[in-house]
């Protein structure tokens, strides 16, 4: 067999692929593993969404190619959602591009803009896909420092003239940090001044707590000049396995992303687009609030238990994770995660998977049933106090 490409040889194994393999091995050994590592919603989508999928899947004309730009009904639904939720006018023909979730859009955007003569700014703690996309694009990575609230610290950011993209993600994975529209305006102004594409990864806008309501970067003044935002139905409507989302914003960035994407895939099954449009336009606010109240209860339980064990942890106002600093004498997050998995049969994510600044932290997901969560937390307590 020939050797793999240099770009693949530089690409680390995706952290959750490694965790999933270890979990599978232990499950095959009969170990009762409980997973708090993956951000996969455990609850179903709205019933109307499932019924729409069934209905359209039964139509004779629903099974051909749907087109590289998805269906008009889904693009219009995205535009309607942005108008209703954020008060942002979006042209469904030029400013919306359906995606296979948002992860493929993240990678393909980097392929569209980056090469070995450019660079990308990535927060020092961030979703691993941003770095993986940079490696695949063979581009240099510049650190975007964060302040003590895990917000971009532009005063300590060393901007480079060849930086083409700056990534942000709020509500944040993994920290749960949230951001104000005022801080987003600062970022938009900075990117407009320096002719940089601001890539806003915003899949958790509808998972918020304690009366916080997440903004869209596109609400900022002159945002469309410089911003492309990624939205996803995976977390918003508990549709992670459906793999549907969209890129929204700057028309030129959307066009360039489509240029790459159209050479990669042929779009979704039409019934998935129809169901996605149903989710965006027909889901009652009460459904979202009820789902969030369940997550908030889980958040509070995790924070209370970890705080009692000496973890340094704050209640997040957004996303579906709890970010916690290990208590003494623990300091190595990778070792802690491995021991917890192999000795207590509880899987959590190591903080260092999200960047070197995440060393000494762990991330726990809210996507687990109340019964399993109680059992997992009980095991963690017993493991700390044998």
What is the block-wise mean pLDDT of the chain (386 residues), using blocks of 10 residues?
86 78 90 93 97 96 90 98 98 97 93 96 96 94 97 96 98 98 98 98 98 97 98 96 97 98 90 98 98 98 98 97 96 94 96 95 98 98 93
Decide if 1 is inside a domain.
Answer: no
Domain boundary among 223, 248, 282: 282
Cis-peptide into 329, omega within 30 deg: yes
- Contact (CB, 8 A) for 328 and 310: yes
Q: What is the rounded end-to-end Cα distance, in angstroms, of the chain?
A: 50
Decide if 50 is inside a domain.
Answer: no
Q: What are phi and psi of 192, to 5 degrees?
A: -65, -40
Decide if 13 is inside a domain.
Answer: yes
Res 36: pLDDT: 96
DSSP class of 235: H
Reading the block at residue 122, the tokens are: 């990535």
CA 294 to chain centre: 20
Domain boundary among 230, 257, 282: 282
Same domain, 338 and 358: yes
Same domain, 313 and 213: no
Decide if 56 is inside a domain.
Answer: no
Nearest to 235, CA basis, from 187, 202, 282, 274? 202
Same domain, 38 and 24: yes
Same domain, 205 and 261: yes
Decide if 54 is inside a domain.
Answer: no
Helix (H/G/I), strand (E/B), else coil: 370: helix
Same domain, 22 and 84: no
Res 65: pLDDT: 85
Res 16: pLDDT: 73
Q: How far apart are CA 325 and CA 352, in angstroms?
A: 11
Res 265: pLDDT: 86
Res 171: pLDDT: 98
Same domain, 158 and 197: yes
CATH code, domain carrying 376 = 3.90.1150.10
- Contact (CB, 8 A) for 187 and 151: no
Res 30: pLDDT: 92
Q: How are beta strands 140-144 and 119-123 bridged, if at all?
A: parallel
Nearest to 254, CA basis, from 277, 231, 280? 231
Same domain, 27 and 135: no
Same domain, 107 and 177: yes
Same domain, 104 and 251: yes
What secondary structure, in 3-state letters, does 180-224 show? CHHHHHHHHHHHHHHCCEEEEECCCCCCECCCCCCCCHHHCCCHH
Find the domain containing 34 and state its range.
6-44+286-384
Res 327: pLDDT: 95
Q: How far apart are CA 11 and CA 34, in angstroms?
A: 29
Same domain, 155 and 244: yes
Same domain, 110 and 215: yes
CA 68 vs CA 95, 202, 341, 353: distances in Å: 14, 22, 42, 33
Decide if 345 is inside a domain.
Answer: yes
Same domain, 344 and 246: no
CATH code, domain carrying 95 = 3.40.640.10
Query: Is this model's pTM higher than 0.75 or not?
Result: yes
Q: How far apart are CA 70 and CA 54, in angstroms?
A: 19
Domain boundary among 239, 257, 282: 282
Query: Per the structure, how many domains does the chain have?
Result: 2
Q: How far apart are CA 123 and CA 102, in angstroms?
A: 18
Within 10 angstroms of residue 44's Cβ, the number of other Cβ atoms is 11
Decide if 154 is inside a domain.
Answer: yes
Decide if 194 is inside a domain.
Answer: yes
């Amino acid at each position: 067999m020939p050797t793999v490409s240099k770009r693949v040889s530089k690409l680390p194994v995706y952290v959750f692929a490694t965790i999933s393999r270890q979990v599978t091995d232990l499950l095959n050994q009969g170990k009762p593993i409980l997973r708090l590592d993956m951000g996969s919603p455990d609850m179903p989508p709205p019933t109307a969404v499932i019924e729409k999928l069934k209905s359209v899947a039964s139509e004779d004309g629903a099974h051909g190619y749907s087109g590289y730009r998805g269906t008009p009904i889904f693009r219009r639904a995205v535009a309607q959602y942005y108008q209703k939720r954020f008060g942002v006018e979006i042209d469904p023909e030029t400013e919306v591009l359906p995606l296979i979730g948002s992860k493929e859009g993240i990678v393909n955007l980097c392929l569209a803009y980056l090469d070995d003569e450019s660079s990308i700014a990535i927060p020092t703690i961030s979703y691993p896909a941003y770095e993986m996309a940079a490696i695949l694009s063979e581009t240099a990575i510049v650190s975007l420092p964060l302040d003590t609230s895990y917000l971009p610290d532009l005063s300590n950011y060393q901007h480079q003239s060849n930086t083409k993209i700056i990534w942000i993600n709020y509500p944040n994975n993994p920290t749960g940090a949230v951001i104000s529209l005022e801080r987003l305006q600062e970022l938009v102004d900075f990117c407009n001044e320096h002719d940089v594409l601001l890539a806003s990864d915003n899949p958790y806008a509808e998972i918020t707590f304690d009366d916080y309501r997440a903004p869209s970067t596109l609400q900022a003044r002159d945002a469309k000049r410089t911003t492309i935002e990624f939205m996803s139905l995976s977390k918003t409507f508990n549709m992670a396995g459906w793999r549907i989302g969209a890129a929204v914003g700057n028309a030129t960035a959307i066009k360039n992303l489509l240029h790459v994407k159209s050479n990669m895939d042929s779009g979704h099954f039409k019934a998935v687009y129809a169901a996605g449009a149903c989710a965006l336009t027909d889901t009652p606010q009460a459904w979202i609030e009820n789902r969030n109240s369940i997550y908030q209860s889980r958040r509070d339980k995790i924070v209370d238990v970890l705080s009692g064990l000496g973890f340094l942890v704050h209640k997040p106002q957004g996303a579906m994770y709890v970010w916690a600093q290990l208590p003494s004498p623990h300091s190595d997050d990778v070792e802690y995660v491995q021991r917890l998995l192999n000795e207590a049969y509880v899987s959590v994510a190591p903080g260092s998977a999200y960047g070197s600044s995440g060393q000494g932290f762990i991330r726990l997901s809210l996507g687990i049933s109340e019964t399993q969560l109680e059992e997992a937390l009980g095991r963690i307590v017993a493991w700390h106090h044998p």
